[in-house]
Structure 1
Amino acid sequence: MSINSAMLAGVSGLTANSSALAAISDNIANINTVAYKRNQVNFANIVTAQAVTGRYSAGGVQGLTRQYISQQGLIQSANSSTDLAISGDGFFIVTEKGAGLTDADKRVFTRAGSFSVDSDGYLRNDAGFYLQGWPIAADGTIQYNPSDLTELNSINVKNLGSAVQATANVVINANLDKRQTVSAAEATYDPATRSMADWEENADPATGTQPDFTIEMNVVDTVGGTHKVAMSFLRSDANPNEWHAEIYAIPATDIAGGGPSGQITSGLVMFNQDGTIDLTNTTLFGAAGAAPTISLGASGTAATPRWDDALGVGAQDITFDLDKLNQYASASTVKVVNPDGATVGTVVGVEVDEQGVVSAIFDNSQVRQIAQIGVATFANPDGLRAVSGNSYRATIESGEFVIKQAGLGGAGTISPSTLENSTVDLSAEFTGLITTQKAYSASSRIITTADQMLDELINMRR
């Protein structure tokens, strides 16, 4: 009868408003949760068939929960370089395990990017989930697969070993004095029998020739060892724009199979009439016009010259940038000698760029790319199912995920040193709290009134 349907409608109102209260409570409780997405219970009426004409049977109301997962929260700056936010569409891919991931381990999706480096070196957020990314090989290549989550691994920034970079380039900014007089020893100079390398080794005029000017530099070998290399010059008597030059190691025992006393190469360095270097006619690196590069063979090989066999290091090519080596009428001086390369270093920091490339920073100033964060997108993000830890799982309604590089194919860019705020509007939630309370009280009044009417009906029989 209609009174019973009214009572049941009141019960449905209590149930629906209880759900609404629960959703509002969750929202308010998570006002400060990173990247939390607000929930809302929307109401829909229930219509029942009217069995008797002229009599109305109440259907009541049902509460339908809606998640606003696709709504982006305000992105604000954070203190840590590993705090990350996605500006645009997409989700971080995370797991509950760091090491030893298998295909059976579940992957979930989140926008909560409050990651930090744990004691094992993994990037893990406040909910305990480990960030996933594609490993970057030593040659900089990445194996992408947009549909295979198992291609991603938990990102670790500590288990990398030490970083060593052998010297490959040396920039020299120096001046040789145009006014330099030709020394008397120049007449007897011979790079094979009276070399400048011999003078460096022995300081004996009988076996070596004292250079007019020397530039010294440190180079790093393939295992991080440091060696001193010198480039010496002697003014030539044959041409006012010509200098004898040698490159050699100090001490000489670092080099084997080369010229005397650790000599690596010898020849002429030529200058133009305006004082700039003339690499076309320079023979220090071989034939005239040869690239300004020296090649050192690996220890234990037959290459000449090579690193000494006792050092046990690999082959190495070193290119010299001599564009700023000049011959002007001013004192010979070295302005800058800048060899690259780095000795052994350990990780001291982590940085992430907008494309999601995670790099380790070493204390020897080296930066090594480790992994690229994968960003998962869905056709209908609001169809995802929420799970604990402010994360989500894919459903039929959400559609299949596609893993993309940040900033490509509709995926958002990654903003380092930022966090996404909760989408909860506290004033709107308090307003909803009041209206829900009133609606709940009104629904309870329906039940009270229907109960009184039933009492009247029962009393009619007395």
Structure 2
Amino acid sequence: MSINSAMLAGVSGLVSNSSALAAISDNIANVNTTAYKRNQVNFANVVTAQAVKGRYSAGGVQAVTRQFVSQQGLIQSANSPTDLGISGDGFFIVTDKGPGLTSADARKFTRSGSFSVDADGYMVNDAKLYLQGWPYASDGTINVNPSDLNLMESINVKNLGAAVAATQNVMINANVNKTQAISAGEATYNAATRSMADWAVNQNPATGTQPDFTLEMNVIDSVGATHKFAVSFLKSDTPPNSWHSEIYAIPATDVTAGPSGQVAAGLTMFTADGAFDLANTTLFGALGAAAELNFAASGAVTTPRWANALGISASSIDLDLAKLTQYASASTVNAVNSDGANVGNVVGVEVSEDGIVSAIFDNSEVRKIAKIGLATFPNPDGLSPVSGNAYRPTIPSGEFVIKEPGVGGAGEIAASTLEASTVDLSAEFTGLITTQKAYSACSKIITTADQMLDELINIKR
């Protein structure tokens, strides 16, 4: 009967508009939820077969929910360096579990990048979902295999231990005075029996030679301890533009080497223009030998080596002497800069655009921890939402592909930013009004159909 179909059509309208109201309510409630994607209920008519010509049977309406997951929210500035926004396509890969992750543990996908560091050092967002990434090995390498999700681990930025970096490079910026007079000690100088290193220990002219100029540099070993080394110069009369030079440890007991901790001795040469002449310098061995110091490990047989009592690893230090000059001005040290770092602890975290998570130590060291991977889907709007503003794959969404940020169409990661909700309050309030009116109109259908049925029933009295 047409009246019955009209009543049922009214009921379907009430149900559909109730769903629309629920979606609008969800959108309004999440207007400030990070990376929330608005939902919308669209309506589709239902057509029934018309059995009798000239008569119409109402089919009603059905609600169809549409997600706008692929819609990019506004990237806004945030205060925390671990707040992460994705500029472009892709989702963070997260789990409900931090340590002990296995292939059986479900992975979820979210764009909610409000991450912080929990008590155990893991990066988790507001829904307590753990961020996944490819970990860096101890040798600084990383295995980025997009086809193997099990290579990714929950990122931990605290349980790293202390950081130490041994000195590998020293830059010396200094000048030795070209007009320096030849000292009396030059005539009796001998690097083996009357060295400048000996003078540094006992200051006795009978056993050592006083240098014309000395500079010092600090070297950090493999366990973070600092050692002092001196570079001394004594003006030579032959050949021209030459200086007797020695490098030695202070104190001498830090190394096992030549007399009084001497690790290198020879001539330092300069060109007629006053520039350092490595090709004719013998301080580091043969003519033109690389300007570097090599220390064997404690307990080794070769020399020079670190003292046995120190128990430390071998060191190789490159000396940059390009700014060592011989000009007609006072001998002076402008700068001695060395790399390396003493023992340091984690004080901060930073994330680069390509997803590299690094720990910052209080000794200025930066250590790479992991690289964030982003998952992309052929149809993000087909994802199924789960609690915590996250999603899981479905057949309509298609299989996910893991990509490095900024590679293969994946978006870039912006640190200290968050993606805003895509909800537009003006549109939602407008929808609230039209939904309310449509609901009222559907209720009128039922009221009118009820009155017509009452008239039909009252035909027979």
Name the TM-score, length of structure 2 as normaliser: 0.99
For residues 214 and 272 of structure 1, the distance between their equivalents in structure 2, rounded to whole angstroms, comes to 21
Match of 1:7 in 2: 7
CA deviations 1:139-186 (Å, max 9, x no partner) are 322112213221100000011111101101000000001111110000
Unpaired stretches in structure 1, ≥5 consecutive residues: none
Match of 1:369 in 2: 368
1:349 aligns with 2:330: no
Match of 1:195 in 2: 195
Moved more, 236-245 or 361-370: 236-245
For residues 234 and 123 of structure 2, the distance between their equivalents in structure 1, rounded to whole angstroms, comes to 57
Match of 1:327 in 2: 326
Cα distance, 1:294 vs structure 2: 1.1
Match of 2:434 in 1: 435
For residues 96 and 204 of structure 2, the distance between their equivalents in structure 1, rounded to whole angstroms, comes to 71
For residues 317 and 207 of structure 2, the distance between their equivalents in structure 1, rounded to whole angstroms, comes to 28
Which amino acid letter does the alignment assign opposite residue 296 of structure 1?
A: F
Superposed, 1:245-324 pairs within 5 Å as 245-256=245-256, 258-324=257-323
Match of 1:73 in 2: 73
For residues 142 and 461 of structure 1, the distance between their equivalents in structure 2, rounded to whole angstroms, comes to 87
Match of 2:225 in 1: 225
Unpaired stretches in structure 2, ≥5 consecutive residues: none
Contact 1:107 1:149 in 2 (8 A): no
**SS at 1:41's partner residue?**
strand
For residues 192 and 75 of structure 1, the distance between their equivalents in structure 2, rounded to whole angstroms, comes to 68
For residues 18 and 151 of structure 2, the distance between their equivalents in structure 1, rounded to whole angstroms, comes to 44
Which amino acid letter does the alignment assign opposite residue 193 of structure 2?
A: T
Superposed, 1:46-445 pairs within 5 Å as 46-256=46-256, 258-445=257-444
For residues 150 and 7 of structure 1, the distance between their equivalents in structure 2, rounded to whole angstroms, comes to 55
**SS at 1:310's partner residue?**
helix
For residues 226 and 440 of structure 1, the distance between their equivalents in structure 2, rounded to whole angstroms, comes to 79
Cα distance, 1:137 vs structure 2: 1.5
**SS at 1:280's partner residue?**
helix
Cα distance, 1:239 vs structure 2: 3.0
For residues 348 and 240 of structure 1, the distance between their equivalents in structure 2, rounded to whole angstroms, comes to 53
For residues 437 and 14 of structure 2, the distance between their equivalents in structure 1, rounded to whole angstroms, comes to 11
**SS at 1:441's partner residue?**
helix
Which amino acid letter does the alignment assign opposite residue 427 of structure 1?
A: S
For residues 22 and 40 of structure 2, the distance between their equivalents in structure 1, rounded to whole angstroms, comes to 9
Cα distance, 1:73 vs structure 2: 0.3
Which amino acid letter does the alignment assign opposite residue 70 of structure 1?
A: S
For residues 146 and 377 of structure 1, the distance between their equivalents in structure 2, rounded to whole angstroms, comes to 11
Cα distance, 1:80 vs structure 2: 0.7
**SS at 2:279's partner residue?**
coil
Contact 1:24 1:40 in 2 (8 A): yes
Contact 1:147 1:401 in 2 (8 A): no
For residues 345 and 91 of structure 2, the distance between their equivalents in structure 1, rounded to whole angstroms, comes to 31
- Identical-residue share of aligned pairs (%): 74
Cα distance, 1:240 vs structure 2: 3.5
Which amino acid letter does the alignment assign opposite residue 368 of structure 1?
A: R
Q: How many residues align?
A: 461
Name the TM-score, length of structure 1 as normaliser: 0.99
Cα distance, 1:119 vs structure 2: 1.1
Match of 1:16 in 2: 16
Cα distance, 1:295 vs structure 2: 0.7
